[in-house]
Amino acid sequence: MVIRMRHTRAHTGNRRSHHGLETPRLSRCAKCGEPHLRHRLCEHCGSYRGQTVIDVTAAVAKKQSKASAQGGSAAGRKSVESETK
């Protein structure tokens, strides 16, 4: 069976021209000056619009203590030594 209304390459390309990825819109943190996504807190210092929302140092310490209690990394990856055995 023959396709009656064929979509040409040009028309297909014109339709897909809006599917391209855009670069993320970044802003600078007022406290530390690091770039962060707009309307999101700064992952470096834990502040949003000049107010501290998350204590980043406490979160990192908690993550490290949890990783040491499990005997591995917090990401759940095994060490290289255990994979080679």
Quick: pLDDT tens for 40-63: 999 888 999 888 888 888 888 888
Report residue 68: phi and psi, to 5°.
-70, -30
- Give me the domain span that covers residue 42: 22-67
Q: Tell me, what's the pLDDT at 57?
A: 84
- Domains held by the chain: number: 1
Assigned domain for 52 exists: yes
Assigned domain for 57 exists: yes
The H or E element spanning position 42 is: none
- The residues, ordered by sequence, that sit 6+ positions from 67 with a Cβ below 8 Å of its Cβ are 73, 74
Q: What is the pTM of this model?
A: 0.52
Assigned domain for 63 exists: yes
Assigned domain for 15 exists: no
d(CA 23, CA 70): 38
Assigned domain for 80 exists: no
Assigned domain for 53 exists: yes
Q: What is the share, in percent, of the chain residues with pLDDT greater than 90?
A: 42
**36, β-bridge pairs:** 27
Q: Are 64 and 72 in contact (CB under 8 A)?
A: no
Assigned domain for 75 exists: no
Assigned domain for 5 exists: no
Parallel, antiparallel, or unpaired for β 26-28 and 35-37?
antiparallel
Q: Tell me, what's the pLDDT at 53?
A: 86
